[in-house]
């Protein structure tokens, strides 16, 4: 065991020689411990939170949710804008873009935006906290917990080792989708009268699935063309996207296909019951007329 721990430590020390110096010294970046503590604290909250709220009334947080969700939409738009504008000026390729350790203003704009993207994943732990405080335990699915906990860890790796190049593209797409997502949640928190404007929730999931499929295709393409980007990052991206496609795909089927079929079946049964009730009433009325 001591030998295994020593080898792991040696391997980690070797990886430190490959880190990107541009993000050195930035908040939460240098050591893995803040990120590991953050993920551990998040999982502890998921475990203990529902127990703490079990015998308590759910909190009404509508005003806070409106402010939080719209603020997160603004933050994600800022990240998207910073990444997109700098990438366009640098003429980044969507197929393969090496991570160059240069300190030009545009490259540093991308590195800083990737750090904000990583930090936003810590802020997104609040999504789960609000579910717990409102006793929406049905929202604490494996997909939700897996998504939130792993994104924070994976993007620490990104900002520490590869904070530019091909790393920028998935962050650009995902931050834009989060603008739409948090705008949706912010509007829905205003009140039920907003529901008529929120018909597009299903399409958010479709866009997310397209995002994961696109990232997987680009990841495989990077491996195929031998892109000058860390090979381990390409494989990690591909494996991660496969897991999201499976989990989000299953969510889509359960939420929008199976649930739709269930509602249609219930509606049909309800209509049949109404018809039978009307027939029974007519029989009773006709019987009374003959008396």
Q: Is the overall model pTM greater than 0.85, yes or no?
A: yes
Q: Which tokens sit at 5?
A: 């721990």
Question: Any idea which residues carry the catalytic annotation?
Answer: 147
Q: Which residue has the higher pLDDT, 289 or 55?
A: 55
pLDDT for 7: 83
* 231 — pLDDT class (breaks 50, 70, 90): confident
The pLDDT of residue 252 is above 50:
yes
Q: How open is the CA angle 79-12-3, to the nearest 5 degrees?
A: 155
| The pLDDT of residue 11 | 78
Q: What is the pLDDT of residue 149?
A: 96
Largest CA distance in the chain: 99
Q: What is the pLDDT of residue 150?
A: 97
What pLDDT is stored for residue 181 in this prediction?
97
pLDDT value at 193 more than 50: yes
Whether the per-residue pLDDT at 290 is higher than 50: the answer is no
Number of H helices, E strands in the chain: 10, 0
pLDDT tens by residue, 267-285: 666 666 665 565 566 555 5
Instruction: Express each pLDDT in 25-59 by its tens digit.
Output: 999 999 999 999 999 999 999 999 999 999 999 99
Shortest CA distance to 97 belongs to which of 232, 230, 220, 211? 230
Query: For 118-138, how does the pLDDT look when each residue is reduced to its tens digit (9 = 90+)?
Result: 999 999 999 999 999 999 999
Determine the pLDDT at residue 283: 57
The DSSP letter of residue 90 is: T
Is residue 27 exposed (0-12), middle (13-18) or buried (19+ Cβ within 10 Å)?
exposed
């Amino acid at each position: 065991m001591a030998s295994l721990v020593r080898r792991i430590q040696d391997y980690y020390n070797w990886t430190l020689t490959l880190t990107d110096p541009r993000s050195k010294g930035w908040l939460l970046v240098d050591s893995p411990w803040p990120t590991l503590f953050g993920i551990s604290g998040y999982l502890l909250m998921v475990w203990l939170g529902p127990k703490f709220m079990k015998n308590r009334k759910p909190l009404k947080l509508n005003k806070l949710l409106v402010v939080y969700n719209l603020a997160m939409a603004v933050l994600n738009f800022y990240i998207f804008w910073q990444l997109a504008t700098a990438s366009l000026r640098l003429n980044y390729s969507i197929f393969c873009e090496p991570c160059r350790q240069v300190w030009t203003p545009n490259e540093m704009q991308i590195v800083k935006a990737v750090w904000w993207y990583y930090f936003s994943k810590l802020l997104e732990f609040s999504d789960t906290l609000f579910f717990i405080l409102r006793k929406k335990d049905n929202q604490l699915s494996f997909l939700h917990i897996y998504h939130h906990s792993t994104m924070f860890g994976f993007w620490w790796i990104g900002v520490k080792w590869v904070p530019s190049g091909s790393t920028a593209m998935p962050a650009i797409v995902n931050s834009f989708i989060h603008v739409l997502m948090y705008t949706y949640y912010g509007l829905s928190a205003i009140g039920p009268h907003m529901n008529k404007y929120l018909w597009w929730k299903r399409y958010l999931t479709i866009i997310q699935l397209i995002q994961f499929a696109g990232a997987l295709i680009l990841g495989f393409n990077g491996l195929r063309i031998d892109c000058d980007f860390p090979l381990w990052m390409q494989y990690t991206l591909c494996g991660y996207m496969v897991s999201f496609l499976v989990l989000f795909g299953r969510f889509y089927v359960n939420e929008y296909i199976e649930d739709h079929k269930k509602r249609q079946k219930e509606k049909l049964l309800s209509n049949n019951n109404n018809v039978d009730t009307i027939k029974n009433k007519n029989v009773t009325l006709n019987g009374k007329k003959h008396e």
